[in-house]
């Protein structure tokens, strides 16, 4: 690993945090995790020597509501998370770069941090029509996802908005077929067993 890579301690010092406050933070972290006092020194050593793990945040087929909620959070503030807590190297919704510049960052992170970056995926990769429903950088999102996932240390994915959209579509279809007039949503267990659900899985 290159020595030019910043550690968590260096970032905290750059933010104006004193050595005394840093050690206090390590002690509180050890206590919060239920560890003994001796672990405070181990936490401090790890934060002083271990480089920050880069995070790559990809967007598939989704409504971006998760990102919208994140940038509007009050505690912690989005700027504190991005600048101090994690090393968010790529997020096409938040970053200033676009086009070829943004794609170059993916190549750089994949090469420089091979096997040592976290891949965060918001939304889903559409599989029908050879993935042509979601194109990023001139290629299907499925290709970008597979390519970045090859060397990721860990992958975190979520797509709650997609599930909610399917739930709403099923509700509309079944209300028409069953003449369902109640204002409450149809229970999800009934929706998933319905013929409409089978049709949506094929679409």
Residue-averaged pLDDT of the chain: 78
H or E segment at 87?
strand 87-91
Whether the per-residue pLDDT at 40 is higher than 90: the answer is yes
Residue 34 sits in the same domain as residue 74: no
Three-class DSSP labels, 47-81? HHHCECCEEEEEECECCCHHHHHHHCCECCEHHHH
Q: Give the end of a domain, one of 9, 34, 52.
A: 52
48 and 58 both lie in a single domain: no
Within this chain, do residues 63 and 146 fall inside the same structural domain, yes or no?
yes
Q: Are residues 62 and 145 in the same domain?
A: yes
Mean pLDDT computed over 124-148: 86
CATH code, domain carrying 120 = 3.40.50.700
Q: Are residues 59 and 141 in the same domain?
A: yes
Same domain, 57 and 153: yes
Q: How many CA atoms lie within 13 A of 174 on its CB side?
A: 24
Within this chain, do residues 149 and 169 fall inside the same structural domain, yes or no?
A: no
Same domain, 173 and 96: no
Question: Which is nearest to 57 in space by CA: 164, 136, 133?
Answer: 136
* Residue 32 shares a structural domain with residue 108: no
User: In this predicted model, which residue has the larger pLDDT, 105 or 69?
Assistant: 105
Percent of the chain having pLDDT more than 70?
Answer: 75
Q: Between 127 and 18, whose confidence is greater? A: 18
pLDDT in the model for residue 2? 42
Residues spanned by the domain of 64: 53-158
pTM of the model: 0.63
- The answer to whether the beta carbons of residues 114 and 151 sit under 8 Å apart is yes
Q: Which residues contact 181 (CB under 8 A, 6 or more apart)?
A: none
Kindly indicate the confidence band of residue 21, based on its pLDDT and cuts at 50, 70 and 90: very high
Q: Which residues pair with 57 in a beta bridge?
A: 91, 120
Residue 194 Cα to chain centre, angstroms: 32
| Pair 169, 83 in one domain | no
Say yes or no: 57 and 154 in one domain: yes
Looking at residue 163, its pLDDT comes to 54
Residue 154 and residue 58 share a domain: yes
pLDDT per residue as tens digits for the range 155-194: 888 765 555 555 565 556 555 655 555 544 545 455 455 5
Q: Where are the alpha helices (DSSP H) in 38-187?
A: 38-49, 65-71, 78-80, 99-112, 141-149, 160-178
What are the tens digits of pLDDT across the range 109-134?
A: 999 888 889 999 888 888 888 888 88
- Of residues 163 and 86, more confidence is placed in 86
The number of folded domains in the chain is 3
């Amino acid at each position: 690993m290159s020595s030019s890579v910043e550690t968590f301690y260096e970032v905290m010092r750059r933010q104006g945090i004193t050595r005394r406050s840093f050690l206090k933070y390590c002690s509180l972290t050890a206590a919060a995790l239920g560890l003994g006092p001796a672990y405070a020194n181990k936490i401090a050593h790890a934060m002083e020597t271990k480089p920050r793990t880069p995070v790559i945040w990809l967007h598939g087929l989704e409504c971006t509501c998760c990102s919208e909620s994140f940038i509007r959070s009050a505690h912690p503030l989005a700027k504190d998370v991005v600048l101090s807590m994690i090393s968010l190297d790529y997020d096409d919704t938040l970053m200033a770069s676009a086009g070829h510049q943004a794609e170059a960052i993916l190549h750089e992170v994949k090469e420089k941090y091979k096997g040592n970056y976290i891949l965060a995926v918001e939304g889903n990769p559409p599989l029908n029509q050879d993935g042509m429903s979601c194109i990023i950088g001139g290629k299907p999102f499925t290709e970008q996802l597979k390519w970045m996932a090859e060397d990721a240390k860990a992958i975190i994915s979520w797509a709650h908005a997609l599930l909610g959209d399917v739930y709403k579509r099923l509700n509309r279809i079944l209300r028409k077929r069953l003449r369902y007039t109640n204002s409450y949503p149809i229970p999800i267990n009934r929706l998933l067993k319905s013929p409409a659900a089978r049709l949506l899985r094929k679409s």
